[in-house]
Structure 1
Amino acid sequence: MIAEERRERILRELVLRGRVEVPEFAARLGLSGMTIRRDLAVLAERGLLRRVHGGAVLPDAADAPAIGARGIGSSGRPIATIGLIVPDATYYFPPVIRGASDAARAAGVRLVLGTTSYDAREEARQLIRLSESGVDAIMLVTARPQIDDQATWDTIAKIGTPVVLVERSAGGAPTSLRIDAVRSDHSYGAEIAVDHLAERGHRSVGLLCRESATAPWIVRGHARAIERWGLDPSAPVATAPSPRWGDGSTADVLRQFLDDCLAAGARAALVLPDDLALGLLGVAEERGLRVPEDFAIVAYDDEIASLASVPLTAVAPPKLAVGRRALETCFMRLEERDETPSQRTKLAPALNVRDST
């Protein structure tokens, strides 16, 4: 590492944490304390820091290196670089990415994106790639939870880079790992949907979920609300497989689910995700059912629910806020390192009521 690169790292550390401790910083970079002290002396002569016992702090004019000539915290010279690994960059995830990006821009942080295409093996490769590229921390959105999770925990332990899980539970991670997590409380989201339907007199509420990382939480929340309200426990709960090109499997599942609901006396359903809910609306209308008079539908995700022929009431996870909070959690971990306890944050979804209920 050349001298100017070392000094740049020192200034970034000062902006992040307000102080550089020579022994700890030298050990982290694998350098001698004498080398770091020489760099501190040079930077002090330039007026970019003030030396104190054991290290250095920001100068009395505390904006000098953040917004002074050094430009630390600008787009060209970020305070830190944080990786964001997502399964894909479409449908659900653009608001998460945008929330993280907005928070990164405000904090003077560079955001680097990687995708896994829902492949758990690619998840491990992306973690290693970003760590080796020198990112300061990583935000990891689940590829497929509980599919080779142990390999993910092993990789996180191996790379040593701070990791914040996004829309993923840290449950099951070894207690030796300090992992932060930020996610939507999808179980609560399912509960507010069932509450909404029960308050409108429905005594039986079906559930249809496409296979996804979100589905297990939705199933748990639906079951809790059914029990709490004393609703019919025999209401259909069904899973739709990921759609395959032109084979009609999704349409078959929708027809069967509606048949099962009507046979069980269920006149309402919660459906994950939006496009599946739109499909159920179409099947209901083909049968001559009026929505919501004969059958009520609540979608989960609220990406396109408002565009349905009957605008769908929908649960909206706080995707922007999740991305923003995850970035802020990464930044806090970089600022405070092991001085702050790990955080497991859940943010509550909201219910947007429209014509389908």
Structure 2
Amino acid sequence: MIAEERRERILREIVMRGRIEVGDFAARTGLSGMTIRRDLAVLADRGLIRRVHGGAVLPDTAEAPATGVRGIGSSTRPLATIGLIVPDAGYYFPPLIRGASEAALAAGVRLVLGTTNYDPAEETRQLHRLSAGGADATMLVTARPDVVDQELWRAIAAVETPVVLVERAADGAPTSLRIDAVRSDHAFGAELAVDHLAERGHRSVGLLCRETATAPWIAKGHRRAVERHGLASAPVMTAPSPRWGDDSRADVLREFLDACLAEGVRAAVVLPDELAIGLLSVVEERGLRVPEDFSIVAYDDEVAALASVPLTAVDPPRTAVGRRALETALMRLERRDDAPAHRIKLAPSLHVRESS
């Protein structure tokens, strides 16, 4: 190992752990104590560290953040490598990936992306692949929010590097695992939508969700808000995931609208935007006006504003979730077991448009 590579490794150790103990580092790396002390002297002369008895710390504080602004990491010589595993790189996930990428750039961290195509077995393979490839931590975005998955917990324990769950709760994880989790509070987002419609005089609000990772939380929030407002019962239906050439979505939309009209329901929350736009078309085909005869609130706000009647929509804080997940992974690398597990929920926002 050449001198500069060795010093970068030492500096990275100090940034991640807050300090370095010469004896411990020598035992773990096979380097001699004399070599390590010489390298510490060079780094101290450059103003990058401060010598203390038995080792060194960062110049300001042992808990100083690892950021690119400090000049400690760069794109060519990253401070750390953090993996990001997502079900796919399209539709819902680009803002989340962008948020993580921006935070990684600011921190001097390399971000490595992996995709699973919603395959649970691939999640485990990707975790092992990134860990074996030298990732210091992994952020795992999953498509299964409410599943108690013992196989996944075993995989997380096996990789022996920090894992941050993203858009998934850590409920059901063994208490022996220190797992951080960062997600949108989708139940709160559904409550936002129902509150908005109730404030506009609707006494019942239907719910139509595609089979997605978000749907269970939205259904939970919808139930809470309906009970809180004392609203009348309304149709709650699930639409199957679309298949090429399959027209089942149109049948579900018509069935849902028929059920709403039969029960006197004139408002609905619909996940995702594409399904909400489809419902808008079916409503208009019936000669009904939006929002005068039927109000729609979409959930996701990817393309809701582009509908023929711009749709009011709940916007999950995906960019902020990606950014906070990266920051949480860095925190875990820096403080290891000294910090409690973080279970972070970020609230969505409601963008009011013409459909309500």
Aligned residues: 350
1:111 aligned partner, one-letter code: L
* Corresponding residue of 2:38: 41
Matched, 1:111 2:111: yes
Matched, 1:53 2:53: yes
2:172 aligned partner, one-letter code: G
Given that residues 194 and 225 in structure 2 are in contact (C-alpha distance below 8 angstroms), is that contact kept between their aligned partners in structure 1?
yes
Structure 2, unmatched stretches of 5+, are none
Q: Please report how far the alpha carbon of residue 25 of structure 1 lies from its aligned counterpart in structure 2 after TM superposition.
A: 4.1
* Corresponding residue of 2:127: 127
* Corresponding residue of 2:331: 332
Q: Please report how far the alpha carbon of residue 247 of structure 1 lies from its aligned counterpart in structure 2 after TM superposition.
A: 1.6
Structure 1, unmatched stretches of 5+, are none
* Corresponding residue of 2:174: 174
Given that residues 190 and 221 in structure 1 are in contact (C-alpha distance below 8 angstroms), is that contact kept between their aligned partners in structure 2?
yes
* Corresponding residue of 1:231: 231
CA distance in 1, matches of 2:68, 2:311: 48
Q: Please report how far the alpha carbon of residue 21 of structure 1 lies from its aligned counterpart in structure 2 after TM superposition.
A: 2.5
Give a deviation string over 1:179-212, Cα, whole Å, max 9, x none. Answer: 0011000000000100000010101100000001
Q: Please report how far the alpha carbon of residue 78 of structure 1 lies from its aligned counterpart in structure 2 after TM superposition.
A: 1.0
Give a deviation string over 1:48-86, Cα, whole Å, max 9, x none. Answer: 5444222222468x99x9889x96411111111111000
CA distance in 1, matches of 2:163, 2:101: 17
| Secondary structure, counterpart of 2:32 in structure 1 | helix
Given that residues 189 and 218 in structure 2 are in contact (C-alpha distance below 8 angstroms), is that contact kept between their aligned partners in structure 1?
yes
After superposing the two structures, state which structure 1 stretch, 272-281 or 328-337, moved more. 328-337
Give a deviation string over 1:257-308, Cα, whole Å, max 9, x none. Answer: 0001111111000000000000000000111110000000000000000000
Change (3 A) 1:161 1:66: closer
Given that residues 240 and 253 in structure 1 are in contact (C-alpha distance below 8 angstroms), is that contact kept between their aligned partners in structure 2?
yes
Give a deviation string over 1:222-246, Cα, whole Å, max 9, x none. Answer: 000000000012x000000100111
1:244 aligned partner, one-letter code: R
Tell me the percent identity: 73
Change (3 A) 1:9 1:207: same
Q: Please report how far the alpha carbon of residue 24 of structure 1 lies from its aligned counterpart in structure 2 after TM superposition.
A: 4.9
CA distance in 2, matches of 1:66, 1:225: 42
For 1:133-148, list aligned pairs within 5 A. Answer: 133-146=133-146
Given that residues 120 and 147 in structure 1 are in contact (C-alpha distance below 8 angstroms), is that contact kept between their aligned partners in structure 2?
no
| Secondary structure, counterpart of 2:122 in structure 1 | helix
Given the two structures, how large is their TM-score scaled by the length of structure 1?
A: 0.92
RMSD: 2.4
Given that residues 3 and 39 in structure 1 are in contact (C-alpha distance below 8 angstroms), is that contact kept between their aligned partners in structure 2?
no
Given that residues 75 and 110 in structure 1 are in contact (C-alpha distance below 8 angstroms), is that contact kept between their aligned partners in structure 2?
yes
Given the two structures, how large is their TM-score scaled by the length of structure 2?
A: 0.92
Q: Please report how far the alpha carbon of residue 40 of structure 1 lies from its aligned counterpart in structure 2 after TM superposition.
A: 3.2
Q: Please report how far the alpha carbon of residue 335 of structure 1 lies from its aligned counterpart in structure 2 after TM superposition.
A: 1.2
| Secondary structure, counterpart of 2:114 in structure 1 | strand
Given that residues 145 and 167 in structure 2 are in contact (C-alpha distance below 8 angstroms), is that contact kept between their aligned partners in structure 1?
no
Matched, 1:287 2:289: no
Given that residues 44 and 50 in structure 1 are in contact (C-alpha distance below 8 angstroms), is that contact kept between their aligned partners in structure 2?
no
* Corresponding residue of 2:240: 241
For 1:3-152, list aligned pairs within 5 A. Answer: 5-25=5-25, 30-32=28-30, 35=32, 38-45=35-42, 47-48=45-46, 49-58=49-58, 72-146=72-146, 149-152=149-152
* Corresponding residue of 1:323: 322
| Secondary structure, counterpart of 2:127 in structure 1 | helix
Change (3 A) 1:263 1:72: same
